[in-house]
Structure 1
Amino acid sequence: MTLNPTPERLTDDMATAIGHAVAGFGFLEEALKRAIFSLTRQGLGEDASENELEKWLQRMEDIADDTLGTLIDSFIATIKHARVDDRHILTEELSELRLKRNLLCHASWRPGSKPGYWHPTFINTRGERYPDEMNADEVDAIHKRTQKIARRVVSIMRATGIEGELAGDEEDQGISNKSG
């Protein structure tokens, strides 16, 4: 297949669907970071030493820049030690969403063989190509699945009784640590 010098313009419905799906993945990243914060803070307990707290705070700073794949791995490792009844289902769902996220975020899209369908040109880290064409409804289904999993992650965070925090939250609340 010859590569055009400029990409095909996605139809508005497909571009919108991909945009919403990508935004959903961003929210899932935030939910995972906050859940990791809450679960690991809860795991430290009330009598954590200053050294343990410092190590934990450093880890929380490190996850601020993590990618979705790394966050999923960290979250899965964290819930192994928590009472999460659907841990195995959640692990499977998150692993599948990781692959869908990489596809939707990194594919080069070409018109498909049927109207309304697009073929994502994408080769994953195992050298596999995505074989199927997709339409906006299929991408919307991925977005809905992402939202459902993100809501589950948030519910796990809230069950700890500790609202997850992110670096920069204090600025979101009108508090700034900038001088001047």
Structure 2
Amino acid sequence: MAGPDDPERLPDDMAAAIGHAVSAFGFLEEALKRAIFSLTRKQLGEDANERDLQAWLRRIEDIADDTLGTLIDSFAAAMRQERTPGRDALAADLRAIRLMRNLLCHASWRPGSQPGFWHPTFINTRGERYPDDMNPAAVQAVHADTMRAARQVLSIMRGTGIDGEWIGRDG
């Protein structure tokens, strides 16, 4: 039974757009883990001593539980060490995606100021509110941006010559 303070049900197109965006965030997290594995393994070198190899393996196991923000920071650091071209722009894009991920995953949605638009009620850790209403097309753009960034991350991973089968992978 619905209560008087319950939010309105999102229309199917808006709910589907949010669901697709959220699934893209999950794909991005997997891509980042695989790329961190590849970049840091390459940096470790072929003749790594046992102590360094074990420390690296522990870190790779730990990334399975890292948040998107921590993964982005680790990936950006690995790109800096590797001197990856375009790293600053990609890192900036990933940080913007992280903010949208937090918004889309944690917002409470209220009808917007125009038909077909919804307002995400969310205050981030800096006390900032998202000022704009969103419609399905705006959320679909977040999905597209996230997938584009994930493809870039995977391209960097493939460029290492290490396939990115990170230790925390399921199955």
Contact kept? 2:35, 2:164, Cα under 8 Å: yes
Question: How far does residue 34 in structure 1 lie from its aligned partner after superposition?
Answer: 0.3
Question: How far does residue 168 in structure 1 lie from its aligned partner after superposition?
Answer: 5.3
Structure-1 residue corresponding to 2:13:
13
Structure-1 residue corresponding to 2:87:
87
Q: How many Å separate the matches in 2 of 1:162 and 1:50? A: 20
Question: How far does residue 167 in structure 1 lie from its aligned partner after superposition?
Answer: 3.9
Structure-1 residue corresponding to 2:67:
67
Q: How many Å separate the matches in 2 of 1:14 and 1:114? A: 14
Scaled by the length of structure 2, the TM-score of the pair is: 0.95
Scaled by the length of structure 1, the TM-score of the pair is: 0.91
**Where do 4+ consecutive residues of structure 1 move more than 4 Å?**
none
Q: How many Å separate the matches in 1 of 2:17 and 2:166? A: 28
Q: How many Å separate the matches in 2 of 1:134 and 1:100? A: 12
Question: How far does residue 83 in structure 1 lie from its aligned partner after superposition?
Answer: 3.3
CA distance 1:18–1:87, shift in 2 (3 Å): same
- What count of residue pairs does the alignment treat as equivalent? 169
RMSD (Å) for aligned C-alpha atoms:
1.3
Matches within 5 A, 1:49-68: 49-68=49-68
Instruction: Could you tell me which runs of 5 or more consecutive residues in structure 1 were left unpaired when the two chains were aligned.
Output: 173-180
Structure-2 residue corresponding to 1:123:
123
Q: How many Å separate the matches in 2 of 1:133 and 1:87? A: 31
Contact kept? 2:60, 2:168, Cα under 8 Å: no
CA distance 1:168–1:42, shift in 2 (3 Å): closer
The 10-residue stretch of structure 1 (91-100 or 160-169) with the greater mean CA deviation from structure 2: 160-169
Aligned-residue sequence identity (percent) comes to 66
Q: How many Å separate the matches in 2 of 1:21 and 1:4? A: 29
